Amino acid sequence: MSIKFIASSKLPTPFGTFTMHGFEDSETGKEHVALTYGELAKDEVILGRIHSECLTGDALFSLRCDCGFQLETAMKNISDAGAGFILYLRQEGRGIGLLNKIRAYNLQDAGANTVEANEKLGFAADLRNYAMCKPMLDHLGISKVRLMTNNPKKLAAMDECGVNVVARQPLQVGKNMHNEHYLRTKADKLGHMMTEEHFKED
């Protein structure tokens, strides 16, 4: 894994001014981004989110998933906490890419669930790789993380790649009539830790 830091700049947002850090992954050609907010005191536990790209949810307001809502809430939580980070990883569609995700959505429109759709296309349910996280966090001086996630596989992957997650903070937001079935599949087939309250919310 060869991650190279390229440049930083300010990123003003509705939740405050973050600093944006750009990284190049020479193995995959992907351009990953980190956002940081406030003072990241060395050796303190830093609140953060490791977010996989979802063009449809993050940028196009899609209600098919919960990604955009999670990203927004994570940025708000970090701003409220006074410090934190987001790693925005360019692994669209759980690693299958945007066009294959559209193919998968087409199969879901015809009745497949999110896991079956990936499998029909010849992909595993989740092809993501998190090896870039440790060098990105090292560059930012972050050694201990309180991670906003519902995904136990992401926690296991962090453990494997040497990221010290000392606590998990659930991030259950964005349920709506279009994604309820999808969220249930994430809980039932992908093991996401979601409480029943999440499904009862309006």
Ligand X SMILES: Nc1nc2c(ncn2[C@@H]2O[C@H](COP(=O)(O)OP(=O)(O)OP(=O)(O)O)[C@@H](O)[C@H]2O)c(=O)[nH]1
Select from 7-15, 21-29, 63-71, 75-83 the region that touches ligand X (CB under 6 A).
63-71
Confirm whether 184 is a catalytic residue. no
Of 4-43, binders to ligand X (CB under 6 A) are: none
Q: Using CA atoms, how far apart are residues 51 and 100, in angstroms rounded to an integer? A: 19
Contact status: 92 vs ligand X (CB under 6 A):
yes
Which residue from 21, 32, 94, 103 is in contact with ligand X, where contact means CB under 6 A? 94
Judged by CB under 6 A, the number of residues near ligand X is 22
Q: Using CA atoms, how far apart are residues 43 and 49, in angstroms rounded to an integer? A: 18
Q: Are 81 and 152 in contact (CB under 8 A)?
A: no
Of 150-169, binders to ligand X (CB under 6 A) are: 150-151, 154
Binding-site partner at residue 48 among Zn ion, ligand X, none, CB < 5 to 8 Å by type:
none
Among 106, 197, 98, CA closest to 150: 197
Q: Using CA atoms, how far apart are residues 7 and 22, in angstroms rounded to an integer? A: 5
Confirm whether 66 is a catalytic residue. no
Which residue from 3, 40, 47, 65 is in contact with Zn ion, where contact means CB under 5 A? 65
Binding-site partner at residue 71 among ligand X, Zn ion, none, CB < 5 to 8 Å by type:
none
Residue 51 is assigned to a ligand binding site: yes
* Binding site as annotated, residues for Zn(2+): 54, 65, 67
Residues that bind Zn ion (CB under 5 A): 54, 57, 65, 67
* Binding site as annotated, residues: 49-54, 65, 67, 70, 92-94, 114, 149, 154
